[in-house]
Amino acid sequence: MEQSVSEQAGHHGLLSPAKIYEKSTAHGVCWTVVSPVVFTYRIVQCSNLLDAHNDTLLFGHTDHREDLLFGHTDHRGDPQSASKPVKRFIVIDEVVHALYGNRISEYMKARNVVYKMLPLPTTEENKSMELVTTILEEVHQFGIDRRSEPILAIGGGVCLDIVGLAASLYRRRTPYIRVPTTLLAYVDASVGAKNGVNFANCKNKLGSYIPPVATFLDRSFLATVPRRHIANGLAEMLKMALMKHKGLFELLEAEGQNLLDSKFQTREGTDETDQSPAASASSRIAIETMLEELAPNLWEDDLDRLVDFGHLVSPELEMEVLPALLHGEAVAVEMSLMVYVACGRGLLPAALRDRVVRCMRSLELPVWHPLCSLALARRALGERLRHSGGRLRMPLPTALGRAEIFNDISDDTLCQAFQEWSVDLGTGHLPT
């Protein structure tokens, strides 16, 4: 008979409501441990993150309960008045370091922080375990408290992914903070729990589900992002619009060029209380819809995920042509193909399909690529099928802002849609 022995093993100050069950078998005894895994993390949208009077970068991840747990007496004041000096290890993309390294150093010095800043070439080509071990070696030499001194990751999505994996490995789990500096990272990579690196020429083949203790979002970093990288981030925003929010699609359709031109910045001559409505609304909706999808399924126990739209074929394409396409660009190529698949399946009228493609072009996103062949698409979908429990699970739009997961898209439908997509978009022609 199976019986809980949790109470016998328990003690005052139990850290989790784990249950231990004991069962006698014909060959001995079996113990089963059932323990919930709970993570709490914050996404904080703020301004002037690098202003020395703003303590968000150092303490925005804490609350009163955590202060008591970690023994800090005055987090919000002068670091010297805390029980020990504030210490931070910072991993920063080397391009971002060239732009903001001096300001970050000035901030840390003004706050009397003991810190080390490690600039790294965090590109998709370098997204590997070698960079992870480089970080771990430096962290080990610097020395941090694995409970109260989070690692700071400042950069684009690749930087955030690599640091997240390194933090999940160091002392089995060390807290880390994400500070995204690209639009793609701002609305996508920074808000979930996943991290990882490429392996065996496969995108994000190694990784873990360990969210940061906090993500700090400051749109001012986007002012120095190249226009192409703004478009790159708009691809992930468009994904959420097509899957979940018609209003976001219409906003991107109407204001896409302005967002590209302004780089999501405050209008000149205004203060922070008068943000660009399109920039503020579109980024907030993109994050909220992303969180709605990710939070209930943080560890991907359910593989039916709308956020996988544009991510079935694109990882294969991205790695195939690296570094020719950015992540969002590869996603955009697949999304344009998939709206043709949706049309071929009878889910979308041709007029709406073409409207989506026109919007993508207005956002300066690629809608076709010569190396995205039918063979590559079939191979990528086959790999996806092999790792998805025998069901393809293909998210497709059924209207603007509405979508469903399909597992019955035939090869004939794919081939027909691919042919029409190649003829229409590969030749640069879009039906009117």
283 has which bridge partners? none
- Does residue 306 contact residue 340 with C-beta atoms inside 8 Å? no
Q: Residue 322: which of 180, 158, 206 has the closest Cα?
A: 158
Q: What is the CATH number of the domain that holds 51?
A: 3.40.50.1970
Neighbours of 414 (CB within 10 A): 21
Q: Please count the other Cβ atoms lying within 10 Å of the Cβ belonging to residue 273.
A: 7
**Domain identity same for 208 and 297:** no
Looking at the predicted structure, is the pLDDT value of residue 201 above 50? yes
CA triplet 195, 211, 284: central angle to 5 degrees? 100
DSSP state for residue 216 in the 8-state scheme:
E
Residues 289 and 352 reside in one and the same domain: yes
**pLDDT (0 to 100) of residue 83:** 66
Whether 12 shows a pLDDT value over 70: the answer reads: no
Looking at the structure, do residues 58 and 124 belong to the same domain, yes or no? Answer: yes
pLDDT at 300: 84
Cβ atoms < 10 Å from Cβ of 75: 19
pLDDT tens, 138-153? 999 999 998 899 999 9
Please tell me the total count of domains within the chain: 3
Interval 308-326 mean pLDDT: 96
Give catalytic residues, as residue numbers: 194
Domain final residue pick, 225, 253, 286: 225
What is the pLDDT confidence band of residue 392, given thresholds at 50, 70 and 90? confident
In a shared domain, residues 30 and 46: no
Percent of the chain having pLDDT more than 90? 77
Q: Where are the beta strands (DSSP E) in 6-107?
A: 19-25, 28-34, 42-45, 87-93
Q: Measure CA of the first residue to CA of the last residue in the chain; give whole Å.
A: 70
Same domain, yes or no: 219 and 311: no
Q: Domain holding 244: CATH number?
A: 1.20.1090.10
Instruction: Say if pTM beats, i.e. exceeds, 0.75.
Output: yes
Can you give the residue range of the structural domain that contains 323?
Answer: 232-426
| Lookup result for tokens 């898209």 | 409
Pairing of strands 3-4, 19-25: antiparallel
- Give the pLDDT band of residue 428 (cuts 50, 70, 90): low
Per-residue pLDDT band at 365 (split at 50, 70, 90): very high
* β pairing state of 42-45 and 28-34: unpaired
Average pLDDT of 242-267? 96
Q: Residue 287: CA atoms inside 13 Å, Cβ hemisphere, count?
A: 20
> Which of 75-79, 169-173, 242-246, 409-413 has the lowest average pLDDT?
75-79
Asked, for residue 431, whether it belongs to a domain, the answer is no
Query: Are 205 and 301 members of one domain?
Result: no
- The span from the CA of 42 to the CA of 19, in Å, is 28
Domain assignment of residue 109, yes or no: yes
How much of the chain exceeds pLDDT 70, in percent? 88
pLDDT exceeds cutoff 90 at 107: yes
Assigned domain for 58 exists: yes
Whether 66 has a pLDDT exceeding 60, the answer reads no
* Residue 196 covered by a domain: yes
Domain co-membership, 189 together with 54: yes
Rounded CA gap, 297 and 45, in Å? 23
Residues 203 and 272 in one domain: no
Residues 253 and 300 in one domain: yes
- Does residue 133 carry a pLDDT above 90? yes
116 occurs within a structural domain: yes
Q: Are residues 220 and 112 in the same domain?
A: yes
pLDDT tier for residue 302 given thresholds of 50, 70 and 90: confident
Q: Are 380 and 315 in contact (CB under 8 A)?
A: yes
Confidence of residue 362 (pLDDT cuts 50, 70, 90): very high
State both tokens at 121: 């070439």
Give me the chain's average pLDDT, please: 90
Last residue of a domain, one of 175, 198, 225: 225
pLDDT, one tens digit per residue, over 210-223 is: 999 999 999 999 99
Residue 10 belongs to some domain of the structure: yes
Does residue 7 carry a pLDDT above 80? no
Question: Both 10 and 48 in a single domain?
Answer: no
- Look at residue 6 and tell me whether its pLDDT is greater than 50: yes
pLDDT score of 266 more than 90: no
CA torsion angle 164 167 169 173 (round to 10)? -110
Residues 51 and 176 placed together within one structural domain of the fold:
yes
Task: Establish if 432 belongs to a structural domain.
Answer: no
Final residue belonging to a domain, choices 225, 245, 269: 225
